[in-house]
């Protein structure tokens, strides 16, 4: 079976929920403690054994690509001053095994369209991961479990698509995409029957919300090629996943071990900075 080696990260959004911070700075470059948000999610991919990153971007987002590029003048200056610790910090941003490629999304036509923009960078029948960078997924304190890595292992063991989920309070299900499946234990997967976008609490099939981490087969790209617009008149990834299930292919909900921080809005971003800074030993 083809291993999962590539992750598509859509970074073309405007980041309106982080305004005014994101007016001149890509939201993915907003810092969480000591590094930008995008670096956290790329490190997550590397921890999962994924070393090829495809950024789906647009005009005005070059700072993201620059962050993972070499900076000869800065590195030379640090070396000449003997600042070896800072040099090591820069080297860790883009280790030798990491390959970053970018592709433009010419028009904002939805998440499904953004993912499809990277289709030509995949080999035929190559599976891939999707990481939505607004949400940080971190292990529990004292744990080293990488949930994305566990999803990749599940894919390679079962050939079943994986969608990361976490339980939310029943009264909050109307805010999320909620999967219909038997509830799995943390670190386990259960076969999905469907997914419902923002249901009323009394109509929700479960309390398991979609997080923004996917491991998918190449077939999704073929479905996205002719996927008609759905909610919001946009091409939706969930619609293509529904079609995949209708074809009889297994899609599973993977229940995460770790914690999530929604950095796409101010409150979640502040919570991530405060919590993770304290865990890193900063006095905040």
CA distance 158 to 66: 38
pLDDT at residue 107 in the model? 85
Tens of pLDDT, residue by residue, the chain (284 residues)? 578 999 999 999 888 899 999 999 999 999 999 999 999 999 999 999 999 999 999 988 999 999 999 888 998 899 999 999 999 998 899 999 999 999 999 888 899 999 999 999 999 899 999 999 999 999 999 899 999 999 999 999 998 999 999 999 999 998 888 999 999 999 999 999 988 888 899 999 999 999 999 999 999 999 999 988 887 888 989 889 999 999 999 999 999 999 999 999 999 999 999 999 999 999 88
Token pair in block for residue 42:
């790329």
Pairing between strand 52-57 and 6-10?
parallel
Residue keyed to tokens 């289709």: 119
- pTM value is 0.93
CA distance 169 to 68: 38
- Is the link from the previous residue into 20 a cis peptide, with omega within 30 of 0? yes
pLDDT in tens, 176-210: 889 999 999 999 999 999 888 888 999 999 999 99
């Amino acid at each position: 079976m083809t291993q999962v080696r590539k992750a598509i990260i859509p970074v073309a959004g405007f980041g309106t929920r982080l305004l005014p911070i994101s007016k001149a700075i890509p939201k993915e470059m907003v810092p969480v403690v000591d590094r930008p948000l995008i670096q956290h999610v790329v490190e997550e991919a590397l921890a999962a054994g994924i070393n090829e990153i495809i950024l789906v971007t647009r005009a005005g987002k070059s700072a993201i690509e620059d962050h993972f590029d070499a900076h000869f003048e800065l590195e030379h200056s640090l070396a000449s001053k003997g600042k070896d610790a800072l040099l090591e910090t820069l080297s860790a941003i883009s280790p030798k095994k990491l390959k970053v490629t970018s592709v433009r999304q010419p028009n904002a036509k939805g998440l499904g369209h953004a993912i499809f923009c990277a289709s030509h960078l995949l080999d035929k029948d190559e599976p891939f991961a999707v990481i939505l960078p607004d949400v940080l997924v971190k292990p529990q304190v004292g744990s080293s479990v990488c949930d994305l890595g566990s999803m990749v292992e599940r894919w390679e063991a079962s050939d079943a698509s994986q969608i990361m989920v976490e339980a939310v309070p029943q009264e909050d299900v109307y805010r999320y995409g909620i999967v219909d499946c038997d509830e799995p234990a943390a670190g386990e997967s259960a076969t999905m029957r469907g997914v419902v976008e923002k249901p009323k609490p009394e109509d929700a099939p479960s309390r398991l919300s979609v997080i923004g981490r996917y491991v998918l087969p190449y077939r999704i790209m073929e479905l996205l090629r002719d996927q008609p617009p759905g909610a919001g008149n946009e091409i939706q990834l969930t619609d293509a996943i529904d079609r995949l299930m209708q074809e009889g292919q297994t899609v599973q909900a993977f229940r995460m071990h770790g914690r999530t921080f929604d950095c796409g809005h101010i409150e979640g971003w502040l919570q991530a900075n405060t919590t993770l800074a304290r865990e890193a030993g900063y006095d905040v």
